[in-house]
C-alpha cells in the first residue's frame, strides 16, 4: 500500500515571539500586516490592548465573541475608522462602505439582484468567459504568472456579468483604470493609523485621485448608455448586473450615484478576491499532487456527464473543498474590522466605546485551539461528512451577520466553474521560482506572483 504523504504546509509568516516597536509596527502595517501577529494571536480567545495606536483594540479569535460582534449585537458596531478612510473615498455609498439607513435601503434594494435565479443565470457567461480565457494556455511553453492570469480571468467574468461588454470609452481602458485605482488608493496610510486629521494630505493616495475622476466618468457614461438602451429596447437589453441595478433605481431603491458606487464596489470587492482564492488553490493543489489527482478525477467525471455549469457546484464537493481550504489558509479578506459605538461587556471582556475590533480570518483560520494541524493544506476538512465539525464562526472567508458578503454564491459558483474548465484541460505545476509570500493588501496576495507551468492534460481517450 502507498504511504499517505504528509500534508503540504504552504508558506506563511511565523508568529512573532515579541511585540514590535512603534516604528517597526508602522512599517509592518504598511508593508504586510500579516507579519504583525504574535503567538498570542494564534492561541488566545481574544487580545485586548487598551492603549494601542489609534485607541483601544480587541483582536477577536473566539467564535462566540465573533458571533457577538458580527451578529448578536451587530447594532453596537459600525465599520472601523481606518477601513472607511481607505475605502470610502473610492467606494463612497457602495454597499461595502455605506452605513446606517443608506446601507439598509441599498442592501434591501440589491437583495433581488443576488437571488439564486440571477446567480444561476450568470453560470453560462462564466463558462463562456473561462473557456475563451483558457485558449491562451494552448501551446504555451513558457511559465505563466497564474496570479496575474486569475485576476484577468475574474475581471473578464465580472465585466461580462456587469456590463455584457457594453462599456463606454476605449476597450481595455476600463480594466487598466481599475488596476491603477486600487493599487494607488487602496492602501493603509500610516497617517490613518496614527489618527491624523483628515486635512493632512495622504501622499499614498494623491496619485489615485485623477484616475478616480476619470473612472467615475466612465462608469456614469456606461450607466447612461445602458439606461437609454433599456428605454429604447427593453427586450434586447442584456439581463446583467447593470440592468438589474438600473431596475432598482428609485426613491425606495438606489439613486444613480449609488448605482455607480455599487458598480465600483462590485469591481473592487468581487474580482481580486475570487482571483486570489483561485490562484492560491491552484498553487496548493500543485504542491499537493495527491490532492490534485482527486480534484481532477472528480472534474473529469462530472464534466463527462453534466454539461450544465449551474449543477457543478453541488456535483463537485472535492473541488469545492480544495477551494474552501485554500480560502482558510489564505482568506482573500484577511481582516474584518469594526468599531464599538457604546461601551459593553462580553463574558469578562470589557469593550470600550470607540474600540477597534479586529475579527481576523487570517488568525482565526490558523488558530491552534480551533484547528488540527492548522498550517497544513487538508481539503478533507471541508468534505460534507466533516463539515459539521467546523463552527460557523471559526471559518469566515465571506464574513457573517447582516454584512456578510452579498456576492458569496456568485464567487463560489464562479470558482468551481473556473476550476472545472481549467483543470479539465490543463495541469498546473509549480517551478523552481514559485515561492509566493502572502502579503495583505486589499486582498491576500502572493508576493512574487505564482509562476507556474501549464501543460495540456492527457485525456483518458487520448
Ligand atoms: C472569494 C471571493 C470573495 C470573498 C472572499 C469576499 C469576502 C467578503 C467579506 C469578508 C465581506 C464582509 C466585509 C465586512 O463584514 O466588513 C464581503 C462583503 C461584500 N462583498 Fe464580498 N467577497 C468575495 C466576492 C464578492 C463578489 C463576487 C462580490 C460582488 C459581485 C462581492 C461583493 C461584496 C459586497 C457588495 C460586500 C458588502 C456587503 C455589505 O456590507 O452589505 N464579494 N465580502
- Please write down the HEC assignment for all residues of 11-62: CCCCCECCCCCHHHHHHHHHHCHHHCCEHHHHCCCEEEECCCCCCCEEEECC
In a domain, residue 386? The reply is yes
- In this predicted structure, what is the pLDDT of residue 267? 87
Cell numbers standing for residue 36: 504583525
Better pLDDT: 458 or 205: 458
Q: How confident is the model over 375-388, as a mean pLDDT?
A: 98
Judged by DSSP in three states, 2 sits in: coil
Residue 98 in this model has a pLDDT that exceeds 70:
yes
Residues 6+ apart with CB under 8 A from 135: none
- In this predicted structure, what is the pLDDT of residue 196? 55
Q: How confident is the model at residue 436 (pLDDT cuts 50, 70, 90)?
A: very high
Q: How confident is the model at residue 181 (pLDDT cuts 50, 70, 90)?
A: confident
Each residue of 102-128: pLDDT tens digit?
A: 999 999 999 999 999 999 999 999 999
- In this predicted structure, what is the pLDDT of residue 84? 86
- In this predicted structure, what is the pLDDT of residue 89? 80
Looking only at Cα atoms, what is the longest distance across the chain? 68
In a domain, residue 296? The reply is yes
262 CA closest ligand 1 atom index: 35
Task: Report yes or no: 110 and 242 within 8 Å, Cβ to Cβ.
Answer: no
Give the helix ranges, DSSP H, for 186-239: 190-193, 203-232
Domain hosting 206: range is: 22-456
Q: Whose CA is nearest to atom 41 of ligand 1?
A: 403
Residues 6+ apart with CB under 8 A from 10: 280, 283, 284, 287, 329, 330, 375, 377
- In the reported structure, the alpha carbon of residue 269 is separated from the centroid of ligand 1 by a whole-number distance in angstroms of 6
Pocket test for ligand 1, best of 119, 395, 407, 444 (most atoms within 8 A of CB): 407
94 CA closest ligand 1 atom index: 35
Each residue of 288-309: pLDDT tens digit?
A: 999 999 999 999 999 999 999 9
Cell numbers standing for residue 145: 504568472
Cell numbers standing for residue 344: 459593553
In a domain, residue 201? The reply is yes
Pocket of ligand 1 (CB under 6 A): 95-96, 107, 265-266, 269-270, 273-274, 277, 332-333, 336, 397-399, 403, 405-407, 410-411
CA distance 134 to 294: 21
415 CA closest ligand 1 atom index: 1
Q: How confident is the model at residue 268 (pLDDT cuts 50, 70, 90)?
A: confident
Angle at 430 between CA 8 and CA 268, to 5 degrees: 90
- In the reported structure, the alpha carbon of residue 426 is separated from the centroid of ligand 1 by a whole-number distance in angstroms of 29
- In this predicted structure, what is the pLDDT of residue 322? 98
Better pLDDT: 173 or 446: 446
Residue 428 in this model has a pLDDT that exceeds 50:
yes
Task: Report yes or no: 193 and 82 within 8 Å, Cβ to Cβ.
Answer: yes
> Could you count the other beta carbons within 10 Å of the beta carbon of residue 382?
20
CA distance 443 to 25: 20
User: CATH number of the domain that 56 lies in?
Assistant: 1.10.630.10
Query: What kind and span of H or E run contains 109?
Result: helix 100-110
Pocket test for ligand 1, best of 103, 104, 269, 402 (most atoms within 8 A of CB): 269
Better pLDDT: 325 or 441: 325
Q: How confident is the model over 125-139, as a mean pLDDT?
A: 96
In a domain, residue 254? The reply is yes
Better pLDDT: 421 or 184: 421
In a domain, residue 3? The reply is no
Place of cell 487520448: 462
Q: Helix 272-287 and helix 146-163: axis angle, to 10°?
A: 140
Residue 401 in this model has a pLDDT that exceeds 70:
yes
Question: Mean of the per-residue pLDDT values for the chain?
Answer: 91
Going by C-alpha positions, the residue among 321, 326, 227, 240 that lies closest to residue 276 is: 326
- In the reported structure, the alpha carbon of residue 458 is separated from the centroid of ligand 1 by a whole-number distance in angstroms of 37
Residues 6+ apart with CB under 8 A from 358: 57, 58, 59, 60, 80, 335, 336, 337
CA distance 49 to 355: 9
- In the reported structure, the alpha carbon of residue 403 is separated from the centroid of ligand 1 by a whole-number distance in angstroms of 8
Q: How confident is the model at residue 461 (pLDDT cuts 50, 70, 90)?
A: very low
- In this predicted structure, what is the pLDDT of residue 203? 54
Task: Report yes or no: 184 and 93 within 8 Å, Cβ to Cβ.
Answer: no
Query: What percentage of the chain exceeds 70 in pLDDT?
Result: 92
277 CA closest ligand 1 atom index: 1
In a domain, residue 88? The reply is yes
Q: Residue 170 burial by CB count (10 A; 0-12/13-18/19+): exposed, middle or buried? A: exposed
CA distance 430 to 416: 21
The number of distinct structural domains making up the chain is: 1
- In the reported structure, the alpha carbon of residue 2 is separated from the centroid of ligand 1 by a whole-number distance in angstroms of 42
Q: Whose CA is nearest to atom 43 of ligand 1?
A: 405
410 CA closest ligand 1 atom index: 27
Q: How confident is the model at residue 418 (pLDDT cuts 50, 70, 90)?
A: very high
In a domain, residue 2? The reply is no
In a domain, residue 15? The reply is no
Rounded to the nearest 10°, the torsion over CA 374, 376, 382, 385 is -90
Amino acid at each position: 500500500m502507498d504511504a499517505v504523504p504528509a500534508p503540504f504546509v504552504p508558506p506563511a509568516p511565523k508568529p512573532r515571539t515579541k511585540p514590535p516597536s512603534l516604528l517597526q509596527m508602522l512599517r509592518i502595517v504598511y508593508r504586510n500586516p500579516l507579519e504583525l501577529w504574535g503567538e498570542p494571536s494564534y492561541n488566545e480567545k481574544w487580545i485586548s490592548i487598551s492603549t494601542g495606536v489609534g485607541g483601544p483594540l480587541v483582536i477577536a479569535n473566539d467564535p462566540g465573541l465573533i458571533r457577538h460582534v458580527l451578529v448578536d449585537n451587530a447594532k453596537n458596531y459600525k465599520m472601523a475608522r481606518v477601513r472607511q478612510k481607505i475605502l470610502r473615498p473610492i467606494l463612497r455609498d457602495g454597499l461595502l462602505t455605506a452605513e446606517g439607513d443608506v446601507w439598509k435601503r441599498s442592501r434591501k434594494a440589491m437583495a433581488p439582484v443576488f437571488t439564486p435565479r440571477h446567480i444561476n443565470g450568470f453560470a453560462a457567461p462564466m463558462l463562456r468567459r473561462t473557456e475563451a480565457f483558457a485558449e491562451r494556455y494552448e501551446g504555451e511553453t513558457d511559465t505563466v504568472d497564474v496570479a496575474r492570469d486569475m485576476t484577468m480571468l475574474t475581471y473578464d467574468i465580472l465585466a461580462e456579468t456587469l456590463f455584457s461588454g457594453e462599456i463606454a470609452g476605449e476597450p481595455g481602458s476600463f480594466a487598466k483604470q481599475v488596476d491603477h485605482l486600487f493599487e494607488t488608493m487602496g492602501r493603509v496610510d500610516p497617517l490613518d493609523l496614527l489618527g491624523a486629521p483628515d486635512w493632512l494630505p495622504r501622499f499614498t493616495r494623491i496619485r489615485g485621485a485623477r484616475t478616480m475622476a476619470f473612472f467615475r466618468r466612465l462608469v456614469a457614461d456606461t450607466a447612461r448608455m445602458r439606461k437609454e438602451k433599456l428605454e429604447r429596447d427593453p427586450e434586447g437589453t442584456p439581463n446583467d448586473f447593470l440592468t438589474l441595478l438600473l431596475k432598482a433605481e428609485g426613491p425606495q431603491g438606489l439613486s444613480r450615484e449609488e448605482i455607480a458606487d455599487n458598480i465600483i464596489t462590485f469591481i473592487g470587492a468581487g474580482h481580486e478576491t475570487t482571483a486570489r482564492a483561485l490562484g492560491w488553490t491552484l498553487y496548493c493543489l500543485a504542491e499537493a499532487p495527491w490532492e490534485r489527482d482527486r480534484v481532477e478525477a472528480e472534474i473529469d467525471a462530472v464534466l463527462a456527464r453534466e454539461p450544465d455549469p449551474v449543477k457543478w457546484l453541488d456535483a463537485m464537493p472535492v473541488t469545492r473543498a480544495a477551494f474552501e481550504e485554500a480560502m482558510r489558509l489564505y482568506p482573500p479578506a484577511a481582516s474584518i474590522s469594526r468599531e464599538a459605538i457604546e461601551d459593553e461587556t462580553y463574558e469578562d471582556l470589557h469593550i470600550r466605546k470607540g474600540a477597534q475590533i479586529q475579527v481576523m480570518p487570517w488568525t482565526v483560520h490558523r488558530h491552534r485551539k480551533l484547528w488540527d494541524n492548522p498550517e497544513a493544506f487538508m481539503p478533507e476538512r471541508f468534505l460534507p461528512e466533516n463539515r459539521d465539525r467546523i463552527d460557523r464562526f471559526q471559518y469566515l472567508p465571506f464574513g457573517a451577520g447582516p454584512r456578510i458578503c452579498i456576492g458569496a454564491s456568485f464567487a463560489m459558483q464562479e470558482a468551481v466553474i473556473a476550476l472545472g474548465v481549467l483543470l479539465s484541460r490543463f495541469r498546473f505545476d509549480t517551478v523552481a521560482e514559485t515561492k509566493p509570500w502572502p502579503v495583505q493588501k486589499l486582498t491576500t496576495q502572493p508576493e512574487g506572483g505564482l509562476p507556474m507551468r501549464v501543460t495540456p492534460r492527457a485525456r483518458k481517450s487520448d
